[in-house]
Amino acid sequence: MEPDKTIERLQTEMWDRTIPPLETLTTLEMLKVMNAGDQTVPLLVKEHLSEIAAAVDAISERLSQGGRMFYVGAGTSGRLGVLDAAECPPTFNTDPSMVQAIMAGGPDALVHAVEGAEDSMESGQQQIRLAGVQSRDVVVGLSASGRTPFVIGALKEGRLRGACTISVSANDEPEVKHLSDIVIAVPTGPEVMEYQKGIG
């Protein structure tokens, strides 16, 4: 199979070349660079508060009608969904079934990378069917790239079932937008840390 060159053009897959190689910096300099990058995110989120408010209102409406919310994601995005879902019962005294998380690769993927799990659109669709998603439910697709097949499949199946579909991504014009009633796309820009092959 030929490598997918499309993903290499996404900002979330790029390294910010205005930043010097981190291995050339002292620990304090490195931390200052990372901290400066972190500070740009809240300002970017501020530009998308109207979409976030629309998502909150849509979710609130359906939960008040007895619906459920499903976070769907892969890798880090999926793990963040699991974390948020797990925090809802102790923080808001919600029933554990109200906010759930579906992660590509299942529970094992929480602590170990499950290679290829995110690449199956059919698996994403199947998980939504197994969850018995209905029209009063909400499917929230979490995908930094906005093109994860597992998430696309879940949103597609959720839409077929009449559920409200919401996507959260970190790139402009994410592929998931065409399957989302509400699109939250916050272009956070290239990565501070460059991936080094063979180093984790």
The yes-or-no answer on residue 13 being catalytic is no
The yes-or-no answer on residue 118 being catalytic is yes
| Candidate list 118, 122, 175, 191, residue with the active-site label | 118
Across the beta sheet with 138-142, what order do the strands follow?
Answer: 99-103, 69-73, 138-142, 164-169, 182-185
Q: Residue count of the chain, please give it.
A: 200
Q: How far is Cα 168 from Cα 182, in angstroms, rounded to an integer?
A: 9
Question: CB burial class (10 A; 0-12, 13-18, 19+) of residue 110?
Answer: middle
| Candidate list 87, 173, 175, 191, residue with the active-site label | 87
φ/ψ (deg, to 5) at 198: 90, 0
Instruction: Provide the annotated active-site residues.
Output: 87, 118
